[in-house]
């Protein structure tokens, strides 16, 4: 268990949320580059809110933020610490409504941020939760859909297919080959006219020019480091485990984008 996961249950939720918000742009640099792909206004959807690092940033940019978080104490913490334009739904985003088993680490808490509807060896406790499909929610014009559900991404996107076809929002999706093969997600979004982009360095690189699986294989040891170590430790190394998807010919940011993958950081 990481230090952050051990301390989380012992500290006030607002303090944990504030710390996560400050550290996360160093842990996940894409969060500091929201202006590159998330236009102001509209509705942003945060699937897998955890302690709300994305929620808090999105609330400053979007008119409305809808957070989907199935872990009860995390959903309560989000509701208690979020801005007035944030709506928290305590449920798991899935392909359709109903009930499902949410798998958590031993101890039955979700502070590590690895809870999922897909069971892995890291899981040791189970919790029955409600499920919602994004297509069944009244969301309004969606500008960004962020999905971090530790292996259940395909089901979330299938449950949002009508939204993606009609509105073409930007997508920021966790893709880790060590958890689930990314092929089905890439096939689904490619069929809907989306192209992937990653931020391995200072500039965005088209996913087709970046060896995501190879990078993750070389950097998998970094993924085992906790939030504090990956954010503040000396000689921080980048582990790219999320992909930005934009529709059609849209490109992220205003800078010239190199498509040769030359900005990939060494593991």
In which residue ranges of the chain is pLDDT below 50?
1, 3, 234, 255-267
Residue 115 lies in a domain: yes
Residue 144 lies in a domain: yes
Residue 65 lies in a domain: yes
Alpha helices by DSSP H, 132-266: 153-158, 161-167, 183-191, 212-223, 227-232
pLDDT of residue 12: 63
Q: Domain holding 50: CATH number?
A: 3.40.50.150
Residue 37 lies in a domain: yes
Q: How many domains does the chain have?
A: 1
Q: How far apart are CA 18 and CA 81, in angstroms?
A: 9
Residue 225 lies in a domain: no
124 is in which domain, residue-wise?
3-205+238-247
pLDDT of residue 8: 59
pLDDT of residue 265: 35
Residue 223 lies in a domain: no
For 32-74, the pLDDT digits (tens) are 999 999 999 999 999 999 989 999 999 999 999 999 999 999 9
Q: How far apart are CA 84 and CA 90, in angstroms?
A: 17
pLDDT of residue 255: 38
Residue 212 lies in a domain: no
Residue 70 lies in a domain: yes
pLDDT of residue 111: 75
Q: How far apart are CA 18 and CA 116, in angstroms?
A: 24
């Amino acid at each position: 268990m990481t230090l952050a996961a051990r301390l989380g249950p012992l500290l006030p939720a607002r303090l944990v949320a504030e710390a996560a918000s400050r550290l996360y742009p160093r842990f996940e640099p894409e969060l500091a580059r929201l202006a590159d792909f998330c236009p102001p206004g509209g509705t942003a959807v945060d699937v897998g809110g955890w302690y709300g690092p994305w929620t808090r940033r999105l609330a400053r940019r979007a008119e409305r933020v809808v957070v989907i978080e199935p872990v009860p104490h995390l959903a309560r913490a989000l509701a208690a610490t979020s801005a007035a334009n944030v709506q928290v739904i305590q449920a798991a985003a899935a392909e359709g409504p109903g009930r499902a088993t949410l798998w958590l680490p031993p101890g039955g808490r979700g502070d590590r941020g690895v809870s999922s509807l897909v069971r892995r060896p890291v899981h040791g406790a189970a919790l029955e939760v409600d499920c919602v499909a994004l297509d069944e929610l009244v969301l309004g014009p969606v500008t960004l859909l962020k999905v971090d559900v530790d292996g259940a991404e395909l089901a979330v996107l299938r449950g949002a297919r009508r939204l993606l076809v009609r509105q073409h929002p930007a997508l920021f999706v966790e893709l880790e080959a060590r958890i689930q093969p990314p092929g089905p997600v890439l096939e689904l979004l490619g069929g809907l006219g989306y192209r992937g982009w990653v931020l391995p360095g200072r500039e965005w690189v088209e996913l087709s020019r970046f060896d995501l699986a190879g990078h993750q294989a070389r950097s998998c040891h970094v993924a085992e480091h906790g939030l504090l170590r990956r954010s503040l430790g000396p000689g921080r190394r980048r582990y790219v485990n999320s992909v930005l998807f934009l529709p059609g010919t849209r490109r992220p940011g205003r800078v010239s984008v190199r498509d040769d993958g030359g900005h990939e950081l060494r593991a």
